[in-house]
Copies of this chain bind each other. A is one copy, B any other.
Amino acid sequence: MSQNQSLHLSVDCVVFGYDDDGLKVLLINQKDSSPDQNSSPWSQLPGDLILLDEGLDQAAQRVLFELTQINGVYLKQFMAFGDPNRVKDLKDRAWLQSVRNLPEQRVVTVGYYGLVSLQDFTPRPASFAGGAQWVDLQEVGPLAFDHNIILDQAFETLKEQLESQHISFELLPKKFTLTQLQALYEVILDKKLDKRNFRKNVKKMTHVVPLDEKQTGVMHKPAQLFSYEPRKN
């Protein structure tokens, strides 16, 4: 208790996005502001230090918005990462020096995961010029810091909580077909599901309600559209 035990605290957001093309994660590119050339620009999860007067959930929302212009998505804390050396790796030094007052200071981060429907993102936020991009989960390369670990852990948590929490609907357009819902489950759980049985289960979910509306413009029998109506209780 004698010396100053202060450190930095950040939040990192693992935002999953889904469209018919598969499951993506939102990454940003570090601005290559380092003077020397030998450090290539890494991708990383959107994250930054929290402000001294904001709560954690609030910080996650703010940071995500500042870095990607994405607003109001479902963000849920899933784990804190506190390895004393998690930001000490050589590869990460140059960038830290360019953006932080105290680049050597230890940083503990709180991980959040979030979910968005890519269909509802039309058109994409202009600010994506800023370096944010949706990367297919299969194609994520090495990230800055320990962000690969954080991403893996977030995905594990997503799988576990998919059925218990009502998460899946955040990943779909507001109006969706049961086939879309099923495809989403299949991507996340990584296994094929039986169409009939799946639909039987959905019928039990009282918060998935059919709309008076059908798919249009498809060259097959148009599907019934559904929406998610969370009941407060």
Contacts and interface: CB of A to CB of B under 8 A. Distances in A.
Interface of A: 1-2, 4-9, 49-56, 59, 77, 79-84, 99-102, 105-106, 108, 110
B4 A7 contact: no
The A interface is mostly helix, strand or loop, or mixed, namely: loop
Given A6-B8, A7-B52, A110 B1 contact: no
Contact of A8 (B5, B55, B79, B102): B5
Contacts of A1: 49, 99-101
A97 to B, nearest CB: 13
24 contacts: A2-B101, A4-B101, A4-B102, A5-B8, A5-B49, A6-B7, A6-B8, A6-B102, A6-B105, A7-B8, A7-B52, A9-B82, A9-B108, A52-B106, A54-B84, A55-B82, A55-B83, A55-B84, A56-B81, A56-B108, A77-B79, A77-B80, A80-B80, A82-B110
A18 to B, nearest CB: 25
Nearest to A10: B5
A50 B49 CA distance: 18
Across the A-B interface, give the 4 residue pairs with the lowest CB-CB distance, nearest first.
A6-B6, A56-B82, A80-B80, A5-B49
